[in-house]
Amino acid sequence: MNDRQPTIFVVGSFVVGLTIRVPRMPVLGEALVGDEFDMGPGGKGTNQSVAAARLGAHVGLLACIGEDIFSTVADDLFAAEGIDCRHIHRIAGINTAVGFVHLIPSGENWIVGHLGANLQMQPEHVDAAEEQIASSDILLTQYEVPPAVVRRALELGRKHGRTTVWNPAPAQAVTQELLQFVDVLTPNQTELRILLDLPPDDPTSNEELARRLLEMGAGSVIATLGQQGAIIATNDGIELVPAVSGISVVDVTGAGDSFNAALAVALGNGLSLRAAVVQATYAGAFAVQHLGVINGLPTRAQLEQFQQAQSA
């Protein structure tokens, strides 16, 4: 990493996550007792904002929260992490979003959530933040806010010549019209299929699916493949970046958010796409070694030390 401080504007979600580790998946009607519990702030927009700030970026966030007890979790987090909160909106009469994460010992999980105030975000909220988007290096967004909001954010990013990074999670089928505004699309291998309106277990190769998204208009596709690493697909070809090996997986919940934030920061720092993906891969690997998302998001120093240790 260099000494420049990139500026990243995130349009995304805030969710309070409640994680409990259980010995296995329950069967219908069964009550299981977990052995570990974590409660804290989350939501892809928030996670990626915090991760980017810890990696040295100046971060502004557009998000919506409720007027309830969970909104104070947002206030405390943003103050502690130095997030620019000019565009955090409190929505009266709506709950702050919550997510219930069930984690099994392998590190795999399943999540049930309620998006609450996130669904109240409107394109007008994005318009109000246009000046800040225009002055940022990177526009980063996800899919935990309404599609019209995502579209407007990407439109404004493109209008002002910003690099637009879209992490399309949770995924839904995407149109060619929307992809024309996306410089870097970052699905995982399941989302890669859902974006193309295919079953999540469709047997088509990841490389072929990435090519289809490029043909539909995405500038580049970075598909994360878990322990297989990530593929970089551009009009110049497709390349595999291997996963970081020799780590102990505790909780994969925040790996994608750590990856996307590190990717955005690296691009904001002027790194090549491949170099940015390599750095992001290390950030994702760092995250999976920790229980809870926020706890697993590295600082710049921690990521540099982790990379050096793994390379030794």
Catalytic site includes residue 3: no
Residues 93, 133: Cα–Cα separation, whole Å: 29
**Edge-to-edge order in the sheet of strand 237-241:** 84-91, 58-66, 7-11, 138-141, 163-166, 184-185, 221-224, 230-234, 237-241
DSSP-derived pairing of the beta strands 7-11 and 58-66: parallel
Structure letter (DSSP) for residue 23: S
Phi, psi of 161 (to 5 degrees): 70, 20
Given 38, 137, 251, 257, the catalytic residue: 257
Residue 60 structure tokens: 């502004």
Residues 238, 216: Cα–Cα separation, whole Å: 16
Residues 39, 70: Cα–Cα separation, whole Å: 11
Q: Where are the beta strands (DSSP E) in 67-137?
A: 84-91, 97-103, 109-114
Contact indicator for 258, 297 with CB cutoff of 8 Å: yes
Query: Minimal CA–CA distance to 135: which of 165, 164, 162?
Result: 162
Query: Minimal CA–CA distance to 51: which of 229, 283, 301?
Result: 283
Catalytic residues: 257
